[in-house]
Amino acid sequence: MDALIVSLQSVWADSGFQGLTGGNAIMLLVGLVLLYLAIGKGFEPLLLSNIAFGCLLGNVPKTGFFTEPGVMQVILFGIHNEVFPPLIFMGVGAMTDFGPLIANPKTLLLGAAAQAGVFVSLIGAMLLGFDLREAAAIGIIGGADGPTAIYLTIKMAPHLLGAIAVAAYSYMSLVPLIQPPIMNLFTSKADRSIKMDQLRTVTRFERIIFPIFSTIFISLLLPPVCSLIGMLMLGNLYKEAGCLDRLNDTAQNAMMNIVTIFLSVGTGLTMQADKFLNYQTILIICLGLVAFAAGTAAGVIFGQIMKVASGNKVNPLIGSAGVSAVPMAARVSQVVGQKANPANFLLMHAMGPNVAGVIGTAVAAGTMLAMIGPVGK
C-alpha cells in the first residue's frame, strides 16, 4: 500500500497538474477561445487553429519542449532562424498573379501608401514606452502580412512574437469587418460607383521578367529582405515560367501546407504565460488595430488623389487593398464597390495594390532593419 502511495505521489509530482500556474490556466483558456474563433467562426482557420493548438501545447508544464531535443525544438528553430517565413513567401508567390500590377504599375503607389499605418503605429508604440525595435515590430502589423510580421519580430523583438503574431493574423481575418466602415468614411457613393477601364493584357515575357528584375533590384536596395523577396519571386517564377508546373504545384500546395503548420504551431508555442500575460499584449493588440486602420485609410486617401489626377478614372476603393491581406482585401474592395454600383467589377483592379502591398510590407520591414538594425547589433 505504501508503495502505491509513493508511486501515486511520484506521478503527481511529475505531472503537469502539479506545475500548472494560474497564468498557464488562463493561456489554456485563450487557446480554447482562439480554437473556437478559428473553427467555429472561420477566422483564418488554417492559421489560427494551429496557433491556438500551439498555445495549448506551450502552456502545458514540464513538457521539455523548450529545453530538450525533439520535434518542437526543430519547429522553434525554424521560427527563430528565419526558415519558415521565406518558405511561406515562396508558396504565396506561386499562388499570386502579379498581372494586374504589371498592367497598371501606378497601383504600386497605393501599396506604398497603405504602409503609412506601419509608421503611424511605430510612432504610437514609442509614445507608449516601447523601445525603437519593439515599436518597429509592432508597427509591421499594419501591413496585414503575418509572415513578414513574424520575420521582423524575430529580428527586432523576439519576446513579443506571440502577441504580434496573434494580432497580425486576427486582424487579417477581420478585414471584411474592419475595412468597409473606413472605406465608406473617406469616399462618397459617387466615388464608390466609379467604373474602371479593363486592364490591358500582360505578355508572358513581362510576367517572367517581373519576378527576376524585382528580386535583383529590391535585394540590392534592401539586402535584409532578400530572403523574403527572393522566395516570393521564385515562387512566382515557378507559376509563370510554364515549364515548372511540378515545382509550382509543390510550392503552392504540399510545401505551403506543411510550412504553414510548422510556422503557426511554432508561433503558438511562443505564447507562454510569462511572456504573453502582461499589459504590453493589450497595448500591442490596440496598436495593431490602429496600424491596420491607418493603413486602410491612407490607401483610400491616396486613391482619392489618384482619382483626381486621373480625371475620375480611378475608383479610390482599390486603395484599401494596399494592405497585403491577399486576396481578402481586394475582395472587400469588390464587395463595397458593387454595393454602390452592381455593375462595378473592381477585383482585378484591386489586386494590383493588393500584391503591391505584399512587396511594400517587405520593403517597409527591410527599411526598418537597415535603419535600426536587428536586436543585438
Res. 66: pLDDT tops 90: no
Q: Average pLDDT in the 249-255 region?
A: 95
Q: How far is CA 340 from CA 301, 317, 320, in A?
A: 18, 11, 16
Question: CA dihedral in degrees (128, 129, 134, 137; nearest 10)?
Answer: 10
DSSP string for residues in 21-68: -HHHHHHHHHHHHHHIIIIIS-SSHHHHHHHHHHHHHHTSTT--TTTS
What sign does the CA torsion over 288, 293, 211, 345 have? positive
Reported confidence tier of residue 8, pLDDT bands at 50, 70, 90: low
111-150 pLDDT, tens digit each? 999 899 898 989 999 999 999 999 999 999 888 788 899 9
What is the distance between the alpha carbons of residues 317 and 346, in angstroms, rounded to a whole number? 9
What is the percentage of the chain residues whose pLDDT exceeds 70? 97
At residue 81, what is the residue type? N
Which residue reads 521578367 in cell numbers? 209
Q: For residue 143, give the nearest of 288, 348, 333 by alpha carbon.
A: 288
Peptide bond into 85 cis (omega under 30): no
Higher pLDDT, 144 or 1: 144
Residue 170, burial from CB neighbour count under 10 angstroms (0-12, 13-18, 19+): buried
Q: Average pLDDT in the 208-235 region?
A: 95
Higher pLDDT, 111 or 19: 111
What sign does the CA torsion over 289, 156, 49, 256 have? positive
Q: Average pLDDT in the 310-327 region?
A: 90
Reported pTM: 0.89
Residue 270, burial from CB neighbour count under 10 angstroms (0-12, 13-18, 19+): buried
What is the distance between the alpha carbons of residues 92 and 151, in angstroms, rounded to a whole number? 15
Query: Contact, 92 vs 232, CB < 8 A?
Result: yes
149-173 pLDDT, tens digit each? 999 999 999 989 888 988 888 788 7
What is the distance between the alpha carbons of residues 375 and 130, in angstroms, rounded to a whole number? 14
Helices (H) and strands (E) in the chain, counts: 22, 0
